[in-house]
Chain A
Amino acid sequence: MSGIQSEPSGALLAVRNLVVQFSSTRGFLVRRHVSTVRAVDDISFELQQGEIICLVGESGCGKTTTGRAIVALERPVSGSIVFKGLELVGLGARQSHRVTRHIQMVFQDPYSSLNPRMTVGASVAEPLVIHRVGSPEDRRQRVGELLDAVGLHPESSAQLPHQFSGGQRQRIALARALALNPELLILDEPTSALDVSIQAQILNLLADLREKYSLTYLFISHDLAIVRWLGDRVVVMYLGRIMEVAPSDDLFQTPLHPYTVALLSALPVPDPTVEDQRKRIVLEGEVPSAANIPVGCRFAGRCWLWRELGSPEQCQEMEPELSCVAKDHLVACHYSGEAAVRPFGLDPSVD
């Protein structure tokens, strides 16, 4: 993993060789071990203070699990997670509690992330209560500000979550996560349940907050349009492994991994002229099960480049390492140079 570990200093968060596994068991009385799912399979990346890094990939590729591991909701099998010089893996409960104040996570499912019996105001205030911040009056005022910031009427405070739409509930969750002014926000598809007009408000809000408080975001998404808009750097995951890491501009202009190329080409663009002129690479098949990761390159079964190159054996025999191929641009593909010359379809002027 050449390029990554070069700068152990300054990073706000450094994830190294992280592995998270789930054992699935089957059978009612005798719990019999059946299979192990490697949800996150040896990934490393760093977040600099104030940066927005986006974690993208299809569902099941391990994005959420990565986020949950960082906030200590999953216990890694191996690897390390260092936040401001402090190793988080294996931390005791008390210390862990102190750190989580600085790292907050917003989950993707707005229906299960809020306590249905707690009023909105109480939910948003809860982190403040737990961490003993402010007087009850201060808290009430802060709750009002937070609700306003996420686009909810302050009167919503007295209502219960079930009275809100999915989108509104996600805004409540966002208000709650912002309550403690965290340094690092892990946002797990926070706008996937929102309407586009509200999504735009939240995206602008997230961008503003980042500027204002020099927040750092780990933004998990499968929506590349948002990633392009928001992200400074992008990490592309596939089946538990990182395929490509690059600054947003580089990734969208010169994607070097065939999977990234295909993702970009599948992305619908709200512009009929562009849509009519684009070429698409429609990937065949589906992501293989994480319980049964193919040997060699795990993308080979769906890789258009591999087929185009005449199915070279190397791809099936050797797992490509994530390595630095250009400045700040890491790719895990034996033939990344080949993918680069293909137009990915977002630019209508390229033929």
Chain B
Amino acid sequence: MSESGLERTTETRLLPASNHPGAGDGLLSPLLSVERLEVQFRAKHGAVRAVNGVTFQVSSGEMLGLVGESGSGKSVTSLAIMRLFPRDGSVISMGRVWFDGQDILSIPEPAMRRLRGRDMAIVFQNPMTSLNPTMRVGLQIAEILMVHEGLGRRQAFERSEALLQMVGVPAVHESLAKYAHEFSGGMQQRITIAMALALQPRLLIADEPTTALDVTIQAQVLDLIRERAAETGMAVVLITHNLGVAAGLTQRIAVMYAGLLVEVGETRSIFASPRHPYTVGLLGSLPRADYHRVKLTPIPGMPPVQVEEPKGCPFAPRCARQISVCSTETPALRSMGRQVAKPSRAVPNTCSHLVACHNPVPTEETPLMPLGSRRD
């Protein structure tokens, strides 16, 4: 039964250990390339693992969805990419993170700070993470422009006003003088997006940007991110646990479980023919508003409380397709070949469908009904 999947499998090393990712495969060199990223937290009794060797690329103009359940390492991955961990040795990041040819994990802090402001930006789930409660909103945005672009006060405030206008904050002039808490959650998130976009970054990491927002406001904020990305060509890593959001916005999806990527592929391919049992389980878990009372098939058990050192497949305790090799060998991401003939959205990067599984779900067992064909 495993053969149906493995026959077509071609072993590919994802990235040669070169210092120039993407070079040589005749593809556009990705803007961001994460190679075998590992993150560990120093704890009293040894190290706590959060990310166990994650590899993916994002190209300019692309929106990649990073999905997975709580604790799977999505946020830690994004913090490592932004290098936002304390530099006191309490957090250890290993592997390589290439951004535009520079190895982010090893450049000196001042250079990183410049990069972080100007070229890479992050938006968090809770807008108050990025907003200073004691500083007027206008000054917070203006300060970024004064520090990074050397703008004068007057100019910086004018630009701040334009930025707030762009993200749809009403009564812009008055809003500049307000404090963050005087805005609703949706407006606060717009303001953090304005701050993140102030220096026209080439990469935006949005970590659950709409999870705390109502559905109508969520739609507004996602529209805003989509619009800005389309207009500026910035790359976006959209972290979300909402597969619906990922379905609507992204070109590619990377599914994370217990600190590892288990499946990466075109969005359509992931939804139409998910191959990793975990991805299949996630999709089977979703109540859908357009499928009435199709019985949910949840994944048994629960996600691991703590990420373990990879020894065998981390999903094995919950997996119905487990075979003997699963408990001894950690499966590597392998190409399942390209499964969608005609992508409807431009997919600029390498398009193969990668799965880390010894016994992937055969395409004919894909659990979903033909896409969009059924309604009660």
Residues facing A in B235-254 (CB within 8 A) are 241-248
| Chain B proximity mask over A58-82: 1 for CB below 8 Å, otherwise 0 | 1100000000000000000000000
Expressed in whole angstroms, the Cα–Cα distance for A265 and B167 within the complex equals: 22
Expressed in whole angstroms, the Cα–Cα distance for A59 and B298 within the complex equals: 28
* B285 at interface, CB cutoff 8 A: yes
Residues of B within 8 A of A277 (CB): 372
Q: Which of A32-40, A128-136, A137-145, A199-207 contacts B (4 or more CB under 8 A)?
A: A199-207
Which of B293, B344, B368 contacts A276 (CB under 8 A)? B344
Inter-subunit contact A273/B244 (CB<8 Å)? no
List the 6 shortest-distance A-B pairs measured between CB atoms, nearest first: A268-B244, A229-B287, A200-B298, A200-B285, A195-B69, A275-B248
Inter-subunit contact A270/B285 (CB<8 Å)? no
With A197-B69, A252-B292, A266-B215 given, is the CB distance from A282 to B302 under 8 Å?
no
Inter-subunit contact B242/A268 (CB<8 Å)? yes
Q: Which of B122-130, B201-209, B217-225 contacts A (4 or more CB under 8 A)?
A: B217-225
| Chain A proximity mask over B61-105: 1 for CB below 8 Å, otherwise 0 | 000000001110000000000000000000000000000000000
Known contacts A200-B286, A204-B298, A229-B287; 5 additional CB pairs below 8 A are A167-B70, A196-B243, A270-B243, A272-B344, A282-B219
Q: Which of A9-17, A177-185, A220-228, A309-317 contacts B (4 or more CB under 8 A)?
A: A220-228
Residues of B within 8 A of A199 (CB): 285
User: What is the total number of residues of chain B having a CB less than 8 Å from a CB of chain A?
Assistant: 54
| Chain B proximity mask over A242-264: 1 for CB below 8 Å, otherwise 0 | 00000011001100000000111
| Chain A proximity mask over B263-282: 1 for CB below 8 Å, otherwise 0 | 00001100100000000011
* B375 at interface, CB cutoff 8 A: yes
* B303 at interface, CB cutoff 8 A: yes
Which of A166, A196, A201, A253 contacts B69 (CB under 8 A)? A196
Residues of B within 8 A of A165 (CB): 70-71, 305
Residues of A within 8 A of B186 (CB): 286
Most-contacted residue by chain A among B242, B286, B371 (CB, 10 A) = B286
Inter-subunit contact A347/B375 (CB<8 Å)? yes
Inter-subunit contact B214/A222 (CB<8 Å)? yes
Inter-subunit contact A270/B244 (CB<8 Å)? yes
Inter-subunit contact B216/A198 (CB<8 Å)? no
- Count of inter-chain pairs, beta carbons less than 8 A: 158
Expressed in whole angstroms, the Cα–Cα distance for A228 and B243 within the complex equals: 17
9 contacts between A and B (CB under 8 A): A165-B305, A195-B303, A196-B286, A253-B376, A266-B219, A270-B244, A273-B268, A274-B371, A346-B375
Residues of B within 8 A of A50 (CB): none
Inter-subunit contact A225/B296 (CB<8 Å)? no
Inter-subunit contact A268/B69 (CB<8 Å)? no
Inter-subunit contact A196/B247 (CB<8 Å)? no
Inter-subunit contact B281/A272 (CB<8 Å)? no
Nearest chain B CB to A231 CB, angstrom units:
10
Which residue of B is nearest A252, CB measured? B289
Nearest chain B CB to A103 CB, angstrom units:
25
Residues of B within 8 A of A267 (CB): 215, 244, 289
* A271 at interface, CB cutoff 8 A: yes
* B7 at interface, CB cutoff 8 A: no
Most-contacted residue by chain B among A195, A264, A268, A348 (CB, 10 A) = A268
* B184 at interface, CB cutoff 8 A: yes
Inter-subunit contact B372/A271 (CB<8 Å)? yes
